Structure 1
């Protein structure tokens, strides 16, 4: 399904919020429940991280250019293969980064922070918020999504499973916090600066889906797409009304292929070199295809399948 998009200038929306799912992990590839436990990024996930950081750095360069050389571009005009692009990748770099405390999200948040600094911009603050963590499923974490059996080498979850009520309350609390951060002050002298705010939240598939279902009106929830690894959802908030501007933007991943021979699915090592010559010409990876099916099942409300969105 093509991402949804509001037909107006990205600079004209005022403060923005972008939600990004973490890159692919070994547990994602192996179909292991993650939840509140962690798993290293795969090689493909590490490549996803670098591709997104590079795209955000480019948007920072465009934002710094003068308006006489860079035409203000509408979101609708910036499409790749019929996919609307988030302002985050066009001309609105982050002004604040919030991240889940888990390693798979912090790795991406820190990469985005570094990308901004490497472009000669001021260091964007990166804040860890426990409320952005994925839902906890207790002892079920670390087991196979196929049969719930324990998988050697993956950590087992600790503590009790987070109840539906507690889970909803936690995400709703974060939504209210984000709304307060985006709120435009009455002081006209700082209104223009406030309008350029762009808060980036690096979180998880289930968390992002829960957030959208809590804040968006029912008619905007009927066609929420699969949340891809490093997929971007961008929203604006006008008072009490949230609007979804772009859904699951993965345009930064166009041309990125999984490496052959299982290399792309293996654990990423910072010392490893990227093997561009070994990229496989394959439009959809096995892990991506499985992930789509898993998230579709999760949306049906089945508790077992909800675990797969971590």
Structure 2
């Protein structure tokens, strides 16, 4: 019996659809349903409507975590953007051993975020780390900097450790954008007397902005939900100075053993990330047009 193309396509796509439903759609539905339940170790499971959300929005710790998450996300994305742009500009002007230099520039991308946290925790260690040691040998400081004892410095240290892994990702977007710009435009700009900065601002940025924006949106989405680096470096301290939204969810889940509020906080995080995902899809659609 001959199978039509449409039925053949359904047969081939069914295993993938089952996996998507089981690993993506079903957990999301479960998360939303649980967020409306009183689901703790001390009480029977019962429907309580939006009380979990009311509790969260009245909880000052949630707003602290949200502020810290926004600060962390903006910091990591900003450092990754600037670092990726500078490295891409440098690599685009290298012709000899270009493949080797590009491979080296991608090295940190292969490092897991948790490992990156441990690496930079050692670097910033006031006793054995090289950061304070180098600054002291240069005469810039007289004593080691206690980064993990200061709220603001601890956040900066975590941002650097996270951005170190994400810079190569932004570098790829910048390189792809730079190589898509016709060289004739730069030649015409030089004839008109434009310097490098003017050519970059008036030619390069307008032509690569959509591609770079996609990279920024993806970096923002992944950074917003991560706790890997912070967990391995500060565990949310000192004095909750690096207490991001992921830690708030973990606390609700394991310390308070309240699956309902943990799920509600997860839904809030999901909705925030969904907004960035919407912008991302819009940019993809806009580029295809």
Q: Same fold (TM over 0.5)?
A: no
**Greater gyration radius:** 2
Task: Return the structure number with greater helix share.
Answer: 2
Task: Return the structure number with greater strand share.
Answer: 1
TM-score calculated relative to the size of structure 2? 0.26
